[in-house]
Amino acid sequence: MQKISTIEKILGYSFQDEKLLKQALIHPSKISKNKESLFERLEFLGDRVLGLLVAHMIYEKFPDKNEGKLSELQAFLTSRKTCTDVCIEAELDKFIEFRQEDFKSSSNQSIYANAIESILGAMFLDGGLDPCKYFITKFWEPYLNNIPETNPKGALQELTAKKGWDNPTYILKEQSGPPHNPVFTVEAIVKDKKTEATGTSRKTAEQKAAQMLCEILTS
């Protein structure tokens, strides 16, 4: 099929089992109720493959960064937005099958991100880590040259979203000191984990607490 060969050219990999690739491209919304969809199972696997290979890529690329900084980078590179951008940039979005009338445009973008992970899951099952590494290096590594300013709160929220947890909560525990030099103490909470930090502004304290919590949750 020309469609399959076009996709394989984008991926830089030829499937031994083309059925795996076809299944990775069909969202459950396009599958009738009496048929099985492997999309979400492949997405589950691909998410782990992406996380592992991105972690290895940034570990090698940035030998001077600590765990917290690496976690921020990984959260950015594996975020829904980055995965969606990669899907569109690689022009894989045009091959994903789903019922467009069932989704708004913002939901479509989530499907694009999920599909990238589903494709990676299929690639891993068919050929192991090497083809996945090639594809990720080709399309994700350029983002390392355009890393946005670090945002621990954003990284923490992305991390909790990927794990299916509730959004982080920030509680102002105390405000002390004179008006011209205040000190804010803030507690960040995710599930049963808590961190506490201080700063000269509430925002600074929240960012510090979020960074600490990111490090705990990724350790």
The reply to whether 198 and 108 lie within a common domain is no
Model pLDDT for residues 202-218, shown as the tens digit of each residue? 888 888 889 888 878 87
Query: In terms of Cα–Cα distance, which of 44, 39, 162, 50 is closest to 96?
Result: 39
> Cβ distance 67 to 219 under 8 Å?
yes
Question: Would you place residue 33 in the very low, low, confident or very high pLDDT band (cuts 50, 70, 90)?
Answer: low
In the predicted model, what is the mean pLDDT of residues 45-67? Answer: 92
Domain boundary among 129, 150, 171: 150
pTM over 0.85: no
Instruction: Kindly state whether residues 141 and 159 are assigned to the same domain.
Output: no
- Is the same domain home to 31 and 106? yes
Q: How confident is the model at residue 101 (pLDDT cuts 50, 70, 90)?
A: low
Cα–Cα distance measured from residue 204 to residue 214, given in angstroms and rounded to the nearest whole number:
15
Task: Look at residue 155 in the predicted model and tell me its pLDDT.
Answer: 83
pLDDT surpasses 80 at 49: yes
Same domain, 186 and 202: yes
Catalytic positions, written as ranges: 47, 117
- Per-chain mean pLDDT for the chain: 86
Its domain, for residue 99, covers 2-150
